[in-house]
Amino acid sequence: MGTGIAQVAAMKGLDVILCDSHSGALERSVINTERYFKRSVAKEKLTQEDAEAAARRISASSDLQALEPADFVIEAINEDESSKKAAFLLLDQIVKPEAILASNTSSISITRIAAVTKRNSQVVGMHFMNPVPVMPLVEIIRGIATSDEVFQTAKALSEHLGKTVCLSLDRPGFIVNRILMPMVNEAFYTLMEGVGTAEDIDKGMKLGTNHPMGPLQLADFIGLDTCLSIMRVLHGGTGDPKYRPCPLLVQYVDAGWLGKKVYKGVYTYAKPLN
């Protein structure tokens, strides 16, 4: 998700410092960005000149300290509350006092993430959709302490990036995943109980309800680890057993079958040649 956000921001004229603690992920991100800009030129969505200018606006580092000059940070690390809190604790010390810290979390409380910082009024949720260059929505989440000014800045930034905003209260799963993820989880129950094959479940939902892709294919695309984390946030945050994660989803994640990003999830994907 970080790669997609960086691509869109750079195309809209913003300087971007892309940061990932895993150098392999950073390399993949740079390669994917080069490919994306090339494809955009080939499809005549971007001129060669604009693609080169956008590429020049992105710098990459595996050291969080590189974010020191940033005015606005959008965190998009794994969907894990303790990792996000640890990252925000560090970011709070690294970036200048007036900088805004946003989280691309799909489900985790912005209020709790903000509470580890000394700038909780300057922390906001900006939930981009996947793939970021294609999907038109940013769901903005105000923590209990998020100021009006910071909300307005996050909204203006989203709109500058060409996105439409919806505003959600800071509740588990917010709006989009409160509704979407139980459907994905139910698709895993349907698969586990043998009601249909993966292909039939996806075909049924795609053609029968006019979704662009079936829920199991969507889960592979999102990342099964992310789907499971969101279900755990919904389950833990509401205490409602209707949100319990499907054991088959748990087992796939235990097996490391995390979806398209590792070429194996519900389905198997061919690895690119280079």
Ligand X SMILES: NC(=O)c1ccc[n+]([C@@H]2O[C@H](COP(=O)([O-])OP(=O)(O)OC[C@H]3O[C@@H](n4cnc5c(N)ncnc54)[C@H](O)[C@@H]3O)[C@@H](O)[C@H]2O)c1
Interface residues toward ligand X, by CB under 6 A: 1, 19-22, 25, 76-79, 83, 87, 104-106, 127-130, 222-223, 226, 261
Nearer to ligand X, 79 or 170 (CB): 79
CA 71 to CA 8: how far, in whole Å?
A: 17
Give Cα 189 distance to the centre of its chain. Answer: 24
139 CB-side CA count, 13 A: 20
- Single out the catalytic residue among 40, 107, 177, 185: 177
Q: Please check whether residue 195 is in contact with residue 248, taking contact to mean a CB–CB distance below 8 angstroms.
A: no
113 CB-side CA count, 13 A: 34
Nearest to 266 by CA among 243, 247, 244, 249: 249
Question: Which residue, chain included where needed, has tokens 């829920």?
Answer: 215
CB of 83 to ligand X, least distance (A): 5
CB of 141 to ligand X, least distance (A): 12
- Single out the catalytic residue among 127, 158, 185, 229: 127
Assess whether 127 carries a catalytic annotation: yes
Q: Please check whether residue 222 is in contact with residue 232, taking contact to mean a CB–CB distance below 8 angstroms.
A: no
Residue 173 backbone phi and psi in degrees, to 5? 80, -5
Nearer to ligand X, 23 or 47 (CB): 23
Question: Which residue, chain included where needed, has tokens 């969907």?
Answer: 79
CB of 179 to ligand X, least distance (A): 14
CB of 159 to ligand X, least distance (A): 18
Nearer to ligand X, 65 or 83 (CB): 83
Nearer to ligand X, 151 or 221 (CB): 221
CA 79 to CA 225: how far, in whole Å?
A: 8
Assess whether 106 carries a catalytic annotation: yes
- Sign of the alpha-carbon dihedral angle for 84, 85, 90, 91: positive
Token output for 86: 């640890």
Assess whether 52 carries a catalytic annotation: no
- Single out the catalytic residue among 139, 168, 185, 229: 139
CB of 104 to ligand X, least distance (A): 4
Nearer to ligand X, 137 or 248 (CB): 137
- Single out the catalytic residue among 29, 103, 104, 106: 106
> What residues act catalytically?
106, 127, 139, 177
